[in-house]
Amino acid sequence: MSERRVQRGARFELITERVTLPNGESTWVDLLKHPGAAAVVPFLDDGRVLLIRQYRHAAGGYLLEVPAGKLDPGEAPEVCAARELEEETGYRAGRVEKLGAIWPSPGFTDEKIHLYAAYDLREAEQRLEDDEVIELVPMAFDEAIRRVRDGGIDDAKTGMALLLAAERRRSGGR
């Protein structure tokens, strides 16, 4: 296997690799290298979830999402989830539980997003980055699930995290 860097940006690197596929064929593939990320479903004490409405240039506008962000070098995913929750919402989690993990776009990136639920939230300080335009959107959990099902929430990590949280609740989890 050989590799060549095509572009290195502020956060990601685009490389082209020569790979041998399981069927024995060799080909060049483009790969966006990503450090990984964590996303978190924050549950307020009254059972609502705290979503964010975030501007996403690539999507052409605003999306309803759970708080999320990329892993810092050497950072554990659960630490990243708690950090992003606090930075983006101004709430600190008393407890964070793993829901699962997803590969959002394995056709072109090695990004893996670790999914969590956060409970026992306490107010802290919101610290948005320069490129973040975020509005807090508390929402009934059942309403969030309905919006995933009807397309009102179409962000993949958010949909999967909410559905995994719903499954955990159905199976006797919190």
Whether this prediction's pTM lies above 0.85 is answered by yes
Residue 173's pLDDT is 67
Residue 109's pLDDT is 95
Cβ-contact 91, 16 below 8 angstroms: no
Q: For residue 1, is pLDDT > 60?
A: no
Residue 174's pLDDT is 61
Residue 141's pLDDT is 98
Residue 9's pLDDT is 74
- Most trustworthy range by pLDDT among 18-22, 137-141, 169-173: 137-141
Q: What is the pLDDT of residues 30-86, one digit of tens each?
A: 999 999 999 999 999 999 999 999 999 999 999 999 999 999 999 999 999 999 999
Strand partners of residue 14: 7, 32
